[in-house]
Amino acid sequence: MTVPSIEFLFFAALAATLFHASKAKAWRRIVLVGANLLFLASFSTTPTAFVPLVGFLLLGYVGMRTVQSSARPSAFAALLVSVVGVFCWLKRYTFIPGSAQLAFPYVTIGLSYIFFRVMHLIIDARQSSLPTRVGPLSYLAYTLNFTSLVSGPIQRYQDFDRTQSADGLTLDFPAVGEALERIIIGFFKVAVVSWALSALHAGSVHTLSADQPFLIRVTTGVAIATIYPLYLYANFSGYTDFVIGVARFFSIRLPENFDRPFSSENFIDFWSRWHITLSTWLKTYVFNPLLMALMGRFPAPQLAPFLGVGAFFVTFFLVGVWHGQTSEFLMFGLLQGLGVSLNKLYQIEMAQSIGRARYRQLCTVPLYCAFCRGFTFTWFSLTLFFFWSSWDQIGHVMDMLGLPAAIVALIMTTAIATITLTAYEGARNHLLRFAWDKRPLLIHCARTATDTGVAVLILLMNVPPVDLVYKGF
């Protein structure tokens, strides 16, 4: 079943009707688990295709219950290694020998996001921070939550359980309106905006040729670099909007995953706005423990900032490793790690060389902020070459562009991003000043008109289905 789609909406509407037939938590858990299993079943008609996923879920549940009754650090560490190892095995990472992999096709949809939930449950069970005992029904309702199974967002069990309680979220008229708005906007982003941007990006890659005049080659190179980040944002954030709206009908408040990421003025800030639930999970379960371990091993206060640089690199290198099994994704992770760690190192050096007060003042200078915003966008767009293409494709683009055109395209990308994003921020801030009933007019009135227009446009356009980029992770 495709998400988002009209078919999925009908399925969710039927499940939501049954869900609200009773306020009893047990009933709602049963309905949600049933919807989860039916949704999962839509991806294969072969029962054996689900065996590996069932085994992984069983490993996670037994592991969670085991660490609750055993406090031995060695057993806990062995369990974490086992879960990571089985995940890599099922995802067919290239360092796993082909002879050791399963020979039959099996369902891996949502496995990466199930992995995060399972690891979170095991670690939090070890730390006794789970709110209640997680029974089999609650475990399946959470780990297989069909509203966020395909591509997240990643939600903590504590937040999931809180909204499912008897005094949790209510589904009143304003909540229904907000949920429908998220569904409409999300569907539009994926079905129309990302579809159009995908076509533009593919067309730019296809037309790039060494026979083009220099300026045309530069323009094409800029288009290749700048369109894909916008496409990826529309595709992924649109999906997130859609499922947040759908989940609200099941009294589930999924966490936000994006917060105007292209407005970020540095790469660390970018990762606090892009795929927020992934970066938050990694900060909680990788960065913080790693930094504490390093500070315990090297307690000198003057080393603490630089230990943070190292922890940043390791954490965001894992971002790339999680995304895919190929060497291209390893390079993607390397560039993410370099981006945040060099950003942190730059902040440390600037604070030491000109002082914290003067550096904070510099960060308020409009021209400096504008350039930082443009440079951050450019760096991210460059890292994405290893996200959407192969080494051969990257080599082809470089051969067609040539080094001089590539350098000019890089400079132009930064300049265009700087100017465009600065203009966007200025226009946005100006429009938000107009208020009615103590709320910005842009939000109070324009959203209603926009939602209506978007809904009509979706109905009128015969847009072909657009697959989700993050569905494959």
Tokens of 281: 């999970």
3-state secondary structure of 436: strand
Which whole-number Å values give the CA distances from 134 to 55, 65, 156, 163, in the listed order?
A: 18, 9, 13, 15
3-state secondary structure of 241: helix
Residue 159 CB partners (closer than 8 Å, separation 6+): 253, 255
Which whole-number Å values give the CA distances from 361 to 33, 340, 365, 366, in the listed order?
A: 53, 21, 7, 11
Cα 365 to the chain's mean position, in Å?
31
pTM: 0.92
Is 473:112 a contact under the CB 8 Å cutoff?
yes
Q: Per-residue confidence of the chain (473 residues) as pLDDT tens digits?
A: 888 888 899 999 999 999 999 888 889 999 999 999 999 999 999 999 999 999 999 999 999 998 887 768 888 889 999 999 999 999 988 888 888 899 899 999 999 999 999 999 999 999 888 887 899 999 999 999 999 999 999 999 999 988 766 556 677 888 888 898 889 889 888 888 899 999 999 999 999 999 999 999 999 999 999 999 999 999 999 999 999 999 999 999 999 999 999 999 999 999 999 999 999 999 999 999 999 999 998 888 888 889 999 999 999 999 888 888 788 999 999 999 999 999 999 999 999 999 999 999 999 999 999 999 999 999 999 999 999 999 999 999 999 999 999 999 999 999 999 999 999 999 888 777 776 666 666 555 555 556 666 665 665 566 666 678 887 67
CA neighbor of 169 nearest in space, from 273, 275, 19, 35: 19
Is 359:351 a contact under the CB 8 Å cutoff?
yes
